[in-house]
Amino acid sequence: MLFRSGAKTKLCVNQFMGNVMTSLSESITLAEKCGGSSFSSNDLVEVLLNGALSSPIVKAKGPNMIKNNFEPNFPLEHQAKDLKLAVELGNEHGLKNLAVTEKSLEIFKKVEGQQESQIDMCGVVKAYREKNE
């Protein structure tokens, strides 16, 4: 695969973003499962937004995940494609163990395979919710 430096940069950024989405999905699902009157997924997102992990992606996607708002901004299928390309690019450069990215790709592909490819990438949370219902 021939990528120019700008494309490689974009791919690395999207790789990170996909990994953040799977991690955030896991944390929100855990908060939903163990939450109650004293703790909720909304509380989790608020803590994330007011601490060291605050980021525009958490601000934009966290509340949408909680509300099941998967109106596409960045389609899940595009995120899955970029994760796949990142793994391939890593392999081309001798990185044989991109375990986090490979697992994220597997999770994105699971949701995509359920004819959910056009939903927003934050819809990856569905993989966690469905697995744990």
Q: What is the pLDDT of residues 22-52, one digit of tens each?
A: 999 999 999 998 877 788 999 999 999 999 9
* pLDDT score of 2: 59
Q: What's the CA gap between 1 and 9, in Å, rounded?
A: 15
Is 67 among the catalytic positions? no
72-77 average pLDDT score: 95
Model pTM?
0.89
For helices 5-34 and 56-66, the axis angle rounded to 10 degrees is 40
- Please report which confidence band the pLDDT of residue 19 belongs to, taking 50, 70 and 90 as the band edges: very high
List 10, 59, 103, 131, catalytic entry: 10
CB neighbour list of residue 14: distance below 8 Å, 6 or more residues apart: 79, 82, 83, 86
